[in-house]
């Protein structure tokens, strides 16, 4: 029988999630989207088959919730330049065409569903806005890239 909800077990579930699952995802946006995908759209609760077999479903759900908020907080605190770098890393790791992802993200704004529930609305607004601006930056770079003969993307401008 599984133990009742305990902070110690929650910590273990959280570490397990970080080490076994999230560590394999190469970008912060990838982790955010993955964690959002473990959330039920109707109830808002989190489910993870693997974690639930090793821990209680309550611990698994709480660990997913905590990790989701943690990554959201990290992304919302990033500078715009870092957001662009993270978005770029996510797109590069997705194995999809860059222009297709940019088009879909700018058009459909699917990243809106990746925000955890009950967070500071200003923080959520800031992250969504930074993603929107970041996508525009990447679009401009892609345009320049397709216009220039060398295939390399220009590096972000150095921080002063």
Partner 1 sequence: MIAVYACSGLAVLLLILLFFVGDGRETDEDKLLYAEHDLRSEVLSPPEIVHRIFSRQDRRFIRDFDSPRLRRIYSKERKQIARDWIRQTSRGIRKIMRDHLRSARASQNLELSGEISLLGHYVQLRCLCGLLALSSLLVSPGVLQEVALYACNLSHRMKSAHHRLEATFQIPSPESTAGVSR
- Return the number of the residue (95 or 160) whose C-beta is nearest partner 1: 160
140 scored as a contact of partner 1 (CB under 8 A): yes
- Return the number of the residue (22 or 76) whose C-beta is nearest partner 1: 76
Q: Tell which positions 64-83 bind partner 1, by CB under 8 A.
A: 76-81
Encode 108-138: b = buried (16+ Cβ within 10 Å), e = exposed.
eeebeebbbeeeeeeebebbbebbeebbebb
Nearest approach, Cβ of residue 84 and partner 1 (Å) = 8
- Return the number of the residue (53 or 129) whose C-beta is nearest partner 1: 129
136 scored as a contact of partner 1 (CB under 8 A): yes
- Return the number of the residue (25 or 124) whose C-beta is nearest partner 1: 124
Interface with partner 1 (CB under 8 A):
76-81, 118, 120-123, 125-126, 129, 132-133, 136-137, 140, 156-157, 159-160
């Amino acid at each position: 029988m599984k133990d009742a909800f305990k902070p110690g077990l929650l910590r273990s579930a959280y570490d397990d999630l970080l080490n076994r699952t999230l560590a394999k995802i190469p970008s912060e946006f990838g982790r955010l989207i993955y964690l959002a995908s473990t959330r039920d759209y109707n109830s808002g609760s989190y489910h993870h088959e693997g974690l639930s077999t090793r821990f209680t479903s309550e611990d698994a759900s709480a660990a997913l919730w905590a990790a989701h908020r943690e990554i959201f907080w990290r992304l919302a605190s990033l500078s715009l330049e870092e957001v662009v770098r993270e978005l770029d890393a996510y797109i590069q790791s997705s194995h999809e065409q860059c222009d297709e992802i940019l088009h879909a993200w700018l058009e459909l704004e699917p990243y809106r569903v990746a925000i955890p529930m009950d967070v500071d609305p200003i923080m959520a607004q800031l992250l969504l806005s930074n993603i929107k601006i970041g996508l525009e930056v990447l679009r401009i770079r892609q345009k320049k890239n397709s216009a220039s003969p060398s295939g390399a993307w220009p590096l972000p401008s150095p921080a002063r």
